[in-house]
């Protein structure tokens, strides 16, 4: 599917038909998310995938009772990973293994290492920004694969961490319910060009 | 171009050949960015487009001397818009004009209005997250249109505001240099699936 059509046709499905997405389709979607670009290629994200109905039911009240949580096939919990020690070590290894010239590798690691010294709050803010790039690939990717998706930020992250047993350094940031829509898109409403280009 | 191919083929071009992008092509790219989804559809972003070589040269030293700034055709400065009074008013009008049912409109405006009461810091963090969704459409959109792009966060936002005369409530967040690449992509390096899905 052409990217321009993906962008025009995707919408936030508010309700799904309950049908399960085949595993190989989900693998393709996760692959599109995995390929998302990020600052210094640090990829400070983690994904928890919820398919179990009992867990979805438990998450429903801490997600503003949004019906997409319980009716979707897969609920992706996109999380920020604040463990920059590990991320920088992995980036260094990946560049060594990938034959990136030493000069470039050292420069990237120098910039990346600055994050390690920052406060948890600053690391989290940085990682969260990157997670939102991956959100775009998740939403566009779902549509490109013939699926529908609904992004949600109206949820209680601490309750998610408790219910899903997520360690403290991984912070639930945005949800993507994925499945087959049981509703129809409304016409897209966007600010006019002159409202955003200045 | 298929979305999956876009995702696989796009890369951060570090140098451009200096050729200008035709205006109609840029219009298409801006349209793909404009259609980006956002939380509560508030679209808290603004775009400053820099094409003038003198201005690009002036921005070069406050962008870590990255050659993509001076060699690109168009430099997009994606900014966070923290004026939620205006954004919420526009969202309300758009929903009224678009015939969105009153119950839904009121619920959305209630959620959106909560942002108006928040600190500038909190509004900025929220808006910045949304800008990063639009970044994804900018990068994928450029590739889909046969262009190349380079995202950059290593720049001095206050110097950008000064040089480009950007008002205080609009905060430069991430840059996208767009043009025709004069370099070749390296093989994509990403964390393994098991490093991100947990």
SS3 letters for A4-55? HHHHHHCCECCCECCCCCCHHHHHHHHHHHHCCCCHHHCCCEEEEEECCHHH
Q: How confident is the model at residue B6 (pLDDT cuts 50, 70, 90)?
A: very high
DSSP strands (E only) in B88-162: 148-152
Percent of chain B exceeding pLDDT 70 equals 100
* Mean pLDDT in residue range B114-139: 97
Average pLDDT for B102-123: 96
Residue B21 lies in a domain: yes
Residue B163 located in a structural domain = yes
pLDDT in tens, B164-181: 999 999 999 999 999 999
User: Which of these, A68, A60, A43, A39, lies nearest to A147 by C-alpha position?
Assistant: A68
Considering the domain boundaries, does residue A137 fall inside one?
A: yes
Strand partners, A3: none
**Residue among A145, A148, A143 nearest A184 (CA):** A148
- Cβ contacts (< 8 Å) between A28 and chain B: which residues? 4
Mutate to test the interface with B, among A6, A37, A135 (most CBs of B within 10 A): A37
Task: Tell me whether B146 touches chain A (CB under 8 Å).
Answer: no
B57 falls in which pLDDT band (50, 70, 90)? very high
- pLDDT-derived band of residue B121, with 50, 70 and 90 as boundaries? very high
Whether the CB-CB separation of A10 and A139 falls below 8 Å is answered with yes
> Which residues of chain A, if any, have pLDDT below 70?
none
CB contact (8 A) between residue B137 and residue A137: no
Could you tell me if residue A136 is left (phi over 0), alpha (psi between -120 and 50 degrees) or otherwise beta? alpha
Q: Which tokens hold the place of B188? A: 């994509």
Task: Say which residues have a Cβ less than 8 Å from residue B130's Cβ, sequence separation at least 6.
Answer: A132, B38, B39, B42, B43, B44, B45, B80
pLDDT at A21: 98
pLDDT at A73: 98
Tally of domains within chain B? 1
State the pLDDT at residue B39.
96
> What is the model's pLDDT at position B8?
97
Q: Mean pLDDT, chain B, as a whole number?
A: 97
User: What's residue A78's pLDDT?
Assistant: 98
pLDDT at A50: 98
Instruction: Report yes or no: A50 at the B interface, CB cutoff 8 Å.
Output: no
Residues of chain A neighbouring B128 (CB-CB closer than 8 A): 125, 129
pLDDT in tens, A1-12: 999 999 999 999
Note which residues in 86-145 of chain A have CB less than 8 A from chain B: 90, 94-95, 98, 100, 111, 125, 128-130, 132-133, 135-137, 139-141, 143-144
pLDDT at A24: 97
Residue B109, domain member (yes or no): yes
pLDDT at B176: 98
Return the CATH number at A37: 3.40.109.10
**ipTM of the complex as predicted:** 0.96
Q: 């009074």: which residue's tokens?
A: B85
Which pLDDT score, from 0 to 100, does residue B44 have?
A: 98
User: Does residue B197 lie within any of the structural domains?
Assistant: no
For residue A193, what pLDDT is reported? Answer: 97
Residue A83 located in a structural domain: yes
Q: Determine the structural domain holding residue B7 and report its residue range.
A: 3-181
Task: Using an 8 Å CB-CB cutoff, list chain A residues near B95.
Answer: 189
The predicted model scores a pTM of 0.97
B residues 163-192 closer than 8 Å to A (CB): 170, 186-191
Q: List, as own/partner pairs, every contact residues B158-167 make where C-beta atoms lie below 8 angstroms and the sequence separation is at least 24, other chains included.
A: B159/B59, B159/B62, B160/B59, B160/B62, B160/B77, B163/B55, B163/B58, B163/B59, B163/B62, B164/B48, B164/B50, B164/B55, B164/B77, B166/B48, B166/B77, B166/B79
Whether A23 contacts chain B with CB within 8 A = no
pLDDT of B82: 97
| H helical segments located in chain A | 3-9, 23-34, 53-59, 67-71, 84-97, 102-116, 120-144, 157-164, 193-196
Cβ within 8 Å, pair B34-A10: no
DSSP string, B47-85: EEEE--HHHHHHHGGGGTT-HHHHHSSEEEEEEEE--HH
A139 within domain boundaries: yes
Beta partners for residue A175, in sequence order:
A77, A152
In a domain, A194, yes or no: no
For the segment B86-102, the average pLDDT, to the nearest whole number, is 97
Distance linking the first and last C-alpha atoms of chain A:
32
At residue A81, the 3 state secondary structure works out as strand
């Amino acid at each position: 599917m052409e990217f321009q059509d993906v962008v025009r046709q995707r919408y936030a499905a508010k309700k799904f038909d309950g049908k399960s997405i085949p595993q190989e389709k989900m693998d393709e979607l996760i692959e599109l998310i995995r390929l998302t670009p990020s600052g210094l290629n640090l990829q400070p994200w983690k994904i928890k995938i919820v398919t179990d109905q009992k867990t979805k039911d438990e998450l429903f009240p801490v997600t503003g009772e949004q019906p997409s949580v319980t009716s979707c096939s897969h609920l992706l919990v996109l999380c920020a990973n604040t463990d920059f020690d590990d991320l920088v070590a992995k980036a260094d290894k990946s560049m060594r293994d990938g034959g990136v010239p030493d000069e470039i590798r050292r420069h990237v690691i120098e910039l990346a290492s600055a994050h390690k010294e920052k406060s948890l709050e600053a690391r989290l803010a940085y990682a969260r920004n990157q997670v939102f790039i991956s959100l775009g690939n998740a939403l566009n990717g779902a549509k490109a694969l013939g699926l529908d998706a609904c992004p949600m930020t109206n949820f209680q992250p601490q309750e998610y961490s408790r219910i899903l047993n997520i360690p403290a350094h991984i912070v639930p940031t945005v949800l993507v319910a994925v499945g087959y829509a049981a509703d129809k898109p409304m016409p897209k409403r966007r600010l006019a060009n002159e409202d955003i280009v200045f």
